[in-house]
Amino acid sequence: MKRIMLFFALALPAMTIAQNGKLNIIPEPVEVRFGEGFFALNPSSSISTSGTDAESQKVATQLAAELSRATGFQLPVRAGGIMTRNVGNILLELNKAPNAVIGDEGYTLKVTNAMVTISANKPAGLFYGAQTFLQMLPKDIESRTVVNNVEWKAPVADITDYPRFSWRGIMFDVSRHFFTKNEVKQFIDDMVKYKYNLLHFHLTDDEGWRIEIKSYPKLTTVGAWNVKKTGTFGDFIPPKDDEPRDYGGFYTQEDLKELVQYASDRFVNIMPEVDVPGHSLATIASYPELSCTPGADKYKVRSGEKIMNWNSGGFTAIVDNTLCPANEQVYTFLDKVFGELAQIFPFQYIHMGGDECAKNFWEKNPQVLALMKKENLKDMHEVQHYFVKRVEKIVTSKGKKLIGWDEILEGGGLPGSAGVMSWRSIQGGIDAAKQGHEVVMTPAPWCYIDYMQSDRAIEPPVYASLRLSKAYSFDPVPDGVDAKLVKGGQANLWTEQIYNYRHLQYMTWPRSMATSEALWSPKSTHSWTDFTRRVEDHFSRFDAAGKKYAPAMFDPVVKATKGDNGTIMVQADNEIEGLDSYYSFDNSFPDQYYPKMNTPVAVPVDAAPLRVVNYRNGKPVGRLIIIPIDDLKKRAGIK
C-alpha cells in the first residue's frame, strides 16, 4: 500500500512536524493522513483501555511511565474504557472485529484535537502504536528527567501501520565482552522504540560462556572468565599464566528468566545461541574432554590474543577451538545444554551457530578419520554436516526448531525443519529457500553493525566498513526467492571491539534504524533522502535522552586514486545532499573559508596529512577527518 499524505492545514507549527509537513517517525508508517491542529497532553490527561486484559493494561502502564518521566504528569491508567471528560486523554482499544489489513502487530492511530486513540487486533499492536505516538511528541519526551516549559503536543493525524516482516531482530554478542543484565534490559528498551521484536542472544564463544548450565558448572566457574585487556582486540599478546582471570561474567538461569519476561512484556522474543562446533574455546577450557586434540587440557578462555590465521583463501586454527564431532561425550553435553535452554527460553528456535569452523585439526585426527570411514563421509564439510544432523535431532527432541548460520548448508543441505540465517551473503538464504527451508536474511555487507561506519582514519579498526546508506539499501527478499520463506532479517552486533555500553550505542544507532525500516516499512515508501531527514531529527531525540550515536552520515567519504606520473588524486563524496567538503594539506585546520573539494584534488609532493571537514549552510557538521599521506597512497594502490 502506498503512503497517502493529505494536508488540510496550510501551515503547522514546527515543534513536532518536520520540514515539508512530514512526520519524523522511524520506521516509516504504511499510511499517514494529516488533519488540522494538535493534540495536547496535560496534567489532567489519563490513559484508558477498552478491555481489562493484563497485556493491554501493561501497555497502558508502560506508556504512562514513558510519558510521565519527561512531562512530570502522573497519568492514571483506567481499565474497561472508563475515561474522564477532560480533553487530552489516550484510549487503547482492542478491535472487537479484527482488522484483516493490520494483522497481529499492526495498529491504527487516530490523533484529534481532543484525544488519541490507538486501536489494534492484539496488544502488540497497541504497543507499537504507542511507540509511534511517542515519536510524534517533542524530542524532550526522551529526557530521563522532567523538562519544564514544553508544550507536549502531537499533530492531528490518522495512521495505519503494520510490519512487512514478522522477524525483526538484532543480534547482541555478550560473549566477546560481557554486558550486565541491566544493560541488556536497556538494549531491549532501545530496540523496541524502533519496533524490533527479536533479540538474538549470542551467549557463547571463544571469549566466554555466559549461561549457567547446572549440569556443567565449570562452564561458568571457568568458561565465563578471561584476562582483562585494553586496546585493539585480536592484537593482544597472550596472557601470562599468573594474570588474574576475573574479567567477564554470566547470567544465572534466574537472570535469564527475568530477561525473557522483561522482553516478553515489550513483545520481544529472545533466541539463545550456543555456537558450535567452532568458536568453542571457552567450552573446551572448561571441559577439555570435549576435544579430540592432545593438549586441550592446557587451553584457556581467549582474552583477545590471536587464535586463528585468516587469509584470502580461508582460515585455519592455531589452537583447536572446535568440539570434536567424533566424540560421543559432545552429544551428551549438547543434549543437556539444549535441554536446560529449552526450559528457559520459550521461543521456538534455538541457534546452533555453525559458522567459521576451522577443520585443520580434524584433518589429522584419528578419531575424526575413523568417523569418516564409518559414516562414509567424503570430506570435512560432510563431517560438519554429520555434526549438524546430530544437533538438529537433539534440538528437535527438546520441542524446538534449529537455526544456524549459513555454513550449516555445507556438506549435504539442511536437515529436518532447520532454518538458515544467511550472513556471508544473500546466497545462503537463496539456497536454503530453494530447498524449502525458512530463511532469516542478515548478510554482512548490509547488516553487520560492528563494521566501521565512517572513514577508517577515525573509526575503531574493523576488517570492513558499512556506511548508513548501504545499510538502508538492504532488502531481505532476493529476486527469484519465495517471499513466504523469508521470515525477515536482522542487524548483527559483534562486540570484539566494543568494551562498554556507550560505544555499543554508537555502533548500533543509526544503522539499526535503517534495518528496522527495511523490516517494517513497505518497500515502496523507502526514500534515502527522507530517511536521513528523519534520522537527523532522531539525533536530537538521542541528545535529549543522553544516548550516544554515530554522526557518520555527515562525514565525507574520502577516496584516493592513482593519477598521472604517480600522483595521488583525492576526492570527497558525501552520503547526503547539501554538504560541502573543505580541506588542507598544510597542517592547518580547514573551515568554510578553505578550498572546497568540488572535484578530485592532486596531493602536493610534500603534503602534510589531509584534513577534511564538512559544512552545511556555513556551519560545521560531521567530524574532522585526518588521513596520513601513507594511508592515501595505500588507498590509491601506490607502493
Establish whether 356 is a catalytic residue: yes
522, 1 contact by CB (below 8 A)? yes
Is the link from the previous residue into 461 a cis peptide, with omega within 30 of 0? no
Q: Which of 177, 200, 202, 279 is catalytic?
A: 279
Q: Where are the beta strands (DSSP E) in 70-126?
A: 77-78, 89-94, 107-111, 115-120
Three-class secondary structure of residue 366 per DSSP: helix
Distance CA 591, CA 612 (A): 9
DSSP letter string over 233-287?
A: TT-BPPPPTTS---EE--B-HHHHHHHHHHHHTTT-EEEEEEEESSS-HHHHHH-
Distance CA 479, CA 488 (A): 15
Q: Which of 55, 173, 205, 580 is catalytic?
A: 205
At a CB cut-off of 8 Å and minimum separation 6, what does 194 contact? 26, 27, 131, 512, 513, 516
How far lies 163's CA from each of 129, 196, 374, 534, 580, in Å? 12, 10, 49, 19, 37
Residue 85, C-alpha cell as written in the block: 471528560
Q: Which of 183, 243, 356, 382 is catalytic?
A: 356
Establish whether 190 is a catalytic residue: no
Establish whether 437 is a catalytic residue: no
Residue 78, C-alpha cell as written in the block: 483506567
Q: Which of 492, 445, 516, 428 is nearest to 168 (CA)?
A: 516
How many alpha carbons lie under 13 Å from residue 560 in its C-beta half-sphere? 19
Active-site positions read 205, 279, 356
